[in-house]
Homo-oligomer: A and B are copies of this chain.
Amino acid sequence: MEKKITVLPGDGIGPEVIAAAVRVLKVIGKRYNHDFQLAYAAIGGAAIDQFNNPLPEKTIEMCKESDAILLGAVGGPKWDNNPAELRPEKGLLNIRKTFDLFANLRPVKAFPSLLDASPLKREVAENVDLMIVRELTGGIYFGEKHRTEDEASDLNVYSRQEIERIVDKAFELAKLRKGRLCSVDKANVLETSRLWRQIVEEKKEQYPEIAVEHNLVDSVAMKLITNPEHYDVVVTDNMFGDILSDEASVITGSLGVLPSASIRSDHFGLYEPVHGSAPEIAGEGIANPAAAILSVAMMLRYSFGMTVEAEEIEKAVDDVFNDGCYTADLVKNGEPSFTTDEWTDKVIAK
């Protein structure tokens, strides 16, 4: 197959982990006879420096012509005091909105060999295998904002259609997984949550094989830590999803190895590691490329339908961890570790 991919390395360790992920992608391309055509473009701080715009028109054009986007990370202290429009995150928010990437998928699965690094007890974290499905282009992120000297406001607003499509996506994902869906809201306080809950209730008729529960966001914030095994697919709005997906990312101790996908209803999507740009270690060649590599696997699965290829990557990463090979972020101070490139070599060798 021929696939066009726009690569947006971004800031900090973004370029390093993306370089590693691209090496893996090329190996897969060769082995399975796929023609992956890569084109590089700027986003975030790098784009601000070059074009004074965190998401230049040129980048948008290139993404439009491609089948998927692979992103590193954006941000860094250099741009922290810029006005809102000239901040790296703005590039991220804009690309989500421009391409209508309404579904953010964040799987969290325990790697047994990494559980020592988890803040949770082994028995609490070891069987975790969940996916947070976050609405990504609506809600309080994009509602009307007002500001005067003495007052500020943000409107949280959702239409039926916005909720329906993310809820459908979550049901579809639950079908492919363990068949359980937890919908998270604050229906005892918010009108948007009451509409959300009503739509989930309506939709569940269409998915009789899925076990559905509703739970309040405060209660889920607790249960994600006390009993994370309970969850399979968790679907929620943009703001709650931002908080809960980050909270969930620490469960297994492997924040540095978590991938994410931001997709829409056709197969186009943006794939990026969950971790940030980690400017403090950028350029040292020690960043953990696992999350970027696993993001490539998600791209193969969700955008290109290449399940076998995706599984091969996931298995290779798993094997390398099981062999006890880790980058610096996963070993205790002073213990030997692999560089980004060495670790990627290991994965490729599998």
A-side interface residues toward B, CB under 8 Å? 84, 87, 89, 93, 118-121, 124, 140-141, 143, 145-147, 149-161, 186, 188-192, 194-196, 217-219, 221-222, 225-227, 239-240, 242-247, 249-251, 255
Given contacts A140-B140, A152-B192, 11 further A-B contacts (CB under 8 A): A118-B121, A151-B158, A152-B195, A153-B156, A153-B157, A153-B191, A154-B190, A155-B156, A186-B239, A222-B255, A225-B250
| Minimum CB–CB distance for A115 against chain B, Å | 10
Q: Is the CB of A243 within 8 A of B226?
A: no
A90 to B246, CA, bound (A): 30
The residues of B that contact A222 with a CB separation of less than 8 Å are: 246-247, 249-250, 255
Q: Which of A146, A154, A251 is most buried by chain B, counting CB atoms within 10 A of its CB?
A: A154
Known: A147-B195, A153-B155, A188-B87. A119 touches B217 (CB 8 A): no
A249 to B222, CA, bound (A): 8
Q: Of B120, B152, B191, which one neighbours A152 at CB under 8 angstroms?
A: B191
Q: Is the CB of B192 within 8 A of A221?
A: no
Q: Of B150, B159, B196, B243, which one neighbours A243 at CB under 8 angstroms?
A: B243
The residues of B that contact A247 with a CB separation of less than 8 Å are: 221-222, 225, 247
A190 to B120, CA, bound (A): 31
Q: Is the CB of B150 within 8 A of A160?
A: yes
| Minimum CB–CB distance for A165 against chain B, Å | 14
Q: Of B156, B158, B188, which one neighbours A89 at CB under 8 angstroms?
A: B188
| Minimum CB–CB distance for A199 against chain B, Å | 10
A188 to B54, CA, bound (A): 14
The residues of B that contact A154 with a CB separation of less than 8 Å are: 155-156, 190-192
When C-beta atoms are compared, the residue in chain B nearest to A158 turns out to be: B152
Q: Is the CB of B89 within 8 A of A119?
A: no
A217 to B238, CA, bound (A): 13
Q: Is the CB of B151 within 8 A of A159?
A: yes
Q: Of B89, B121, B155, which one neighbours A121 at CB under 8 angstroms?
A: B121
When C-beta atoms are compared, the residue in chain B nearest to A190 turns out to be: B154
A190 to B159, CA, bound (A): 20
Q: Is the CB of A194 within 8 A of B147?
A: yes
A121 to B190, CA, bound (A): 35
Q: Is the CB of B218 within 8 A of A242?
A: yes
The residues of B that contact A188 with a CB separation of less than 8 Å are: 84, 87, 89
When C-beta atoms are compared, the residue in chain B nearest to A243 turns out to be: B221
Q: Is the CB of B242 within 8 A of A226?
A: no
